[in-house]
Amino acid sequence: MTKYLGLHETLETHEILMFKNLCLTKSSTMGPLAQDPELKAILAQDVTTSQHQIQELQQFLTDRSAQS
């Protein structure tokens, strides 16, 4: 594998990153509004998962030395 993503791969990764940011924003905004404890737990889990996934996606776009 090369150290650099192709243009289309970079654009697709960026699209996924923007989608995950939108999901994170929605989950973190709706969490405090939820009344059901189970739903609050699901939204809190989604916030944590989305943050981790965003960090991983950002690495694809910024840390090219880790890719071999």
Structure tokens at 24: 């994170």
For residue 64, pLDDT beyond 70: no
Which residue stretches of the chain are H helix? 7-30, 37-62
For residue 63, CA distances in Å to 4, 14, 59 come to: 10, 14, 5
pTM to 2 decimals?
A: 0.79
Question: pLDDT category, 65, cuts 50, 70, 90?
Answer: low
Q: Give the model confidence (pLDDT) of 22-58 as tens digits.
A: 999 999 999 999 999 999 999 999 999 999 999 999 9
Output the six-digit token pair for 6.
């192709």
Model pLDDT, residue 1: 44
